[in-house]
Structure 1
């Protein structure tokens, strides 16, 4: 739990712009309050460490090499009188990652090699050895090509990739930031985004017309409900996905994912039908790729 300032004492905070109102240095987490009996120094800390040691076998020194993720503790739940939506933390991008994997496991055998890559660090630029900017995928394809007597560059050029990332869903509460004629709508299926970026197409991967046509045939052939979309109005902001990093390796790539409301909020909302259509789209892709 991260504490917040009560509004009765927040006159100075309320005067700050939104961008400076939340200090990262104040996002400290409550992990305990009870002191360890008969402990004179740092008694609360000692009690927390005692719990971690008993429960997980951790010591204080283990924090030097531990990688901990603090996430909202609430469970996912239905939203709406009709229970047509799901509220939960981290739909971006778990609601695309999970069906990407399950679709590959459930899909009929393809005549081509299929892969599902679950990468990390996308929100900070896909950096590091676990992000999509590392050379892992290129190295793997090179190993496969070498083992089969093929050419790695030719394998990449003949490959197709879905960047399964979420799309911004049109929200009538914030009508002025969306281009209505090109926005993803909830309950209208999985969303295909030809390009993202900022100020038009800055910092994006723009899928070719040939790839878009191929994906259209793939989805239509499988009876998948799908839609096209953009991120929002051109001059309002922007964003990107890992698509450009795959495309930089000469792999045809396009974004296809679940439309999300309240993206990046502690709890995000998706439609159950859109999630299911994403799964069906990924099954079709693995089968026809």
Structure 2
């Protein structure tokens, strides 16, 4: 009996047939990334896929007596959602995989459009933990919704299709950058400098603000919008990059928004393969994790708890105690990414405890920062159960931490679900360049993330 652990990558372990499945899975994953660059677009994608597999809305489900095998989707304001496959006894708990679908980006301010130095620009307010210096001089796209004066919703996506214009944030040329170069990375580009170029040519016949007026004219012609409509819109700037293979062996994926859509796609693929489970299976896709899980579409908004109460009620013989037991007896994977060992930045990593790209899904006993602040520290009994499921289903897995102890850290939705009394552990994909406009993951790890969630939930 060998007492020490032997580390092997996914590529060394899988056979040729599974290798084909791995690459096929990642082609679908890249398509998902390109179609879902905002949480609204991801929710639309998830619900469409659910309907194809026979899922019905929670509103439809509660009109009848819910029973084992029913497949139900919850749409929470088009910005977060959940999929349920009903098991035998909800009171005995559920198997839940909870991911989030929001990603760092630039949101437009409520009065964004202005004219300066022969350009029309948009003012932004960054969302989530970005590194501001990474956003200038890359191709950008505009995504979101607005409402015209008649109350019609207008969907806007500009910069993604071949032939579309893109948008742009300026940076200082090196010839004049002597003072900027003396600043720290955080100071070189500030939040108020992330202004997006949207136009340059003037509107004929206008004397004042003619470039801004030209932009408004174009928006009015195409979308029936006026300037006031910006104040009640949800519009975001995201990278215009498409998901691409990386490396001559095409073994990695570079794309915007892989935190946390790599886990969300795996979560979706896993739940869609579950039929009539003994324990109710749930996939949660939450919003607002990147800004602390606040707001009525976030994990802390109790939309999930309310949905469980509705399901218990529709199954007959409702009581609050049954709802509380259903939540407290549940077992949960908090599906979020973690940092992988980067050969260029080893000084911030604990190499003996870091995750490595290509070594499968990463089990993370605790997140948080420094003295385990704001973490859910998973119980050993639950970790053993998760390990047994992963090993039984031949899932390649590893453990990881978020860098050295006092270097920083990060949080997930784990602590919110743990407040119900459920058993919770973080488990997701190790990645590189997290929160950058273009992030990097191993195809081996994204595929094993899906296999890991399926092993846990089915």
Give the TM-score normalised by structure 1: 0.94
Residue deviations 1:27-53 (CA, integer Å, cap 9, x gap): 101111122233333222222222223
Higher strand share: 2
Aligned to 2:431: 260
From 227, 230, 234, the counterpart of 2:401 = 230
CA distance in 1, matches of 2:260, 2:327: 25
For the aligned residue pairs, the C-alpha RMSD in angstroms reads: 1.5
* 3-state SS in 2 of match to 1:265: coil
Aligned to 1:101: 268
Whether the 8 Å CA contact 1:163–1:255 is kept in 2: the answer is: yes
Match status 1:129 vs 2:280: no
Aligned to 2:367: 196
List aligned pairs for 1:58-77, cutoff 5 A: 58-77=225-244
Whether the 8 Å CA contact 1:183–1:231 is kept in 2: the answer is: yes
Q: Which runs of 5+ in 2 are unaligned?
A: 1-167
Gap change, CA 1:230 and 1:57, over 3 Å in 2 = same
CA distance in 1, matches of 2:354, 2:432: 12
Aligned to 2:350: 179
* 3-state SS in 1 of match to 2:332: strand
* 3-state SS in 2 of match to 1:82: coil
* 3-state SS in 1 of match to 2:285: coil
List aligned pairs for 1:1-289, cutoff 5 A: 1-148=168-315, 149=317, 151-287=322-458
Give the TM-score normalised by structure 2: 0.60
Higher helix share: 1
What is the CA-CA distance between 1:216 and the residue it aligns to? 1.1
CA distance in 2, matches of 1:204, 1:142: 27
CA distance in 2, matches of 1:82, 1:48: 44
What is the CA-CA distance between 1:107 and the residue it aligns to? 2.9
Equivalent pairs counted in the alignment come to 287
* 3-state SS in 2 of match to 1:138: helix
